[in-house]
Amino acid sequence: MKPVWHHRWDLTPAEARQLQEQAKGRVILADDAAGFLMPKTLVAVDVGYDKLTDRCAAALVVWDVEANKSAFELTHVAPSTFPYVPGLLTFREIPPLLPLFEKLDLSIRHGTKPELILCDGQGIAHPRRIGLASHLGLIFDCPSLGWAKSRLIGTYKDPTKRRGAATPLMDGDEQIGWVLRSRAACRVTFVSPGHRISLPRSLQLARALLGPYRLADPARRAHTLTRLAMQA
């Protein structure tokens, strides 16, 4: 996958925030299709860290949705190039992911061009409405979905304990995502549209991707790969 939006990555935190403010207006919160369509192929990404060495391990999984299995996997280990700053994880996590997206040409030639980017992070559920999923979606002009294990901002009422139950995630009067019970009686997760996806469809996609665990199977596989790469 080739980037369609380029910018510098050697930014200070202040410059990174300014870039987010400038870019958030480019995020599209509308569906590509009139009705709900489940993608046949998606990309799940995750980044893990070794606090002792400040190295990061990035993983990318091309997931065959119909077969519910991985079709192609890539990992990359590199030094972290941006400090940990809440709200600016995009600038810490995307640089090690970019080489993996560049290598996706091989999988695309084999007919598995991804139709959705699934991120372990926020979409618009972010103080400046441009979390990891939104930023990646803009870079590749691809529909993207944020599905995080923890909340960055917003208030909500707890959904019921039923698997698939959801309530709105609100920032004042604005809905910025969903609080989803991905597994019965388990801790909630936080879903938000990244780019080229509406709020209703973000929840539909997340529910369609529910598996037996708290994390969707593609995200869970990407998370496992980061741990394995860090141990190698």
Is residue 5 situated within a structural domain?
A: no
pLDDT digit string, tens, across residues 137-149:
999 999 999 999 9
Q: Looking at the domain assignment, is residue 178 inside a domain?
A: no
**Is residue 114 included in any domain, yes or no?**
yes
| Prediction pTM value | 0.94
Mean pLDDT over all residues of the chain? 92
pLDDT of residue 223 exceeding 80, the answer is yes
Least confident of 54-68, 98-112, 207-221: 98-112
Count of the separate structural domains present in the chain: 1
Q: Is residue 106 part of a domain?
A: yes
> In the sheet where 117-119 sits, what is the strand order?
69-79, 55-64, 41-50, 117-119, 144-148, 189-195, 174-180, 166-171
Asked whether 178 and 192 are in contact (CB, 8 A), the reply is: yes
Looking at the predicted structure, is the pLDDT value of residue 33 above 80? no
Predicted confidence at residue 108, as pLDDT, reads 54
- What 8-state DSSP symbol labels residue 187? P
pLDDT tier at 1, thresholds 50, 70, 90: confident
- CATH number of 208's domain: 3.30.2170.10
Q: What is the pLDDT of residue 35?
A: 56
Of 98-107, 135-144, 202-211, the one with minimum mean pLDDT is 98-107
Assess if residue 208 is contained within a domain. yes
pLDDT tops 70 at residue 87: yes
Report how far apart, in Å, the C-alpha atoms of 131 and of each of 56, 88, 112, 207, 220 are. Answer: 19, 8, 26, 21, 20
Q: Residue 109: what pLDDT?
A: 52
134 part of a folded domain: yes
- Return the pLDDT at 32: 78
- Residue 50 pLDDT grade (very low, low, confident, very high; cuts 50, 70, 90): confident
Residue 188 domain flag: no
pLDDT tens digits, 155-172? 999 999 999 999 999 999
Average pLDDT over residues 112-127: 91
- Res. 232 pLDDT band, cuts 50 70 90: confident
Residue predicted with more confidence, 2 or 209: 209
For residue 95, what are the domain limits? 13-153+193-231
pLDDT at 38: 85
Judge whether 173 lies within some domain: no
> Measured between alpha carbons, how far is 224 from 232 in angstroms, rounded to an integer?
13
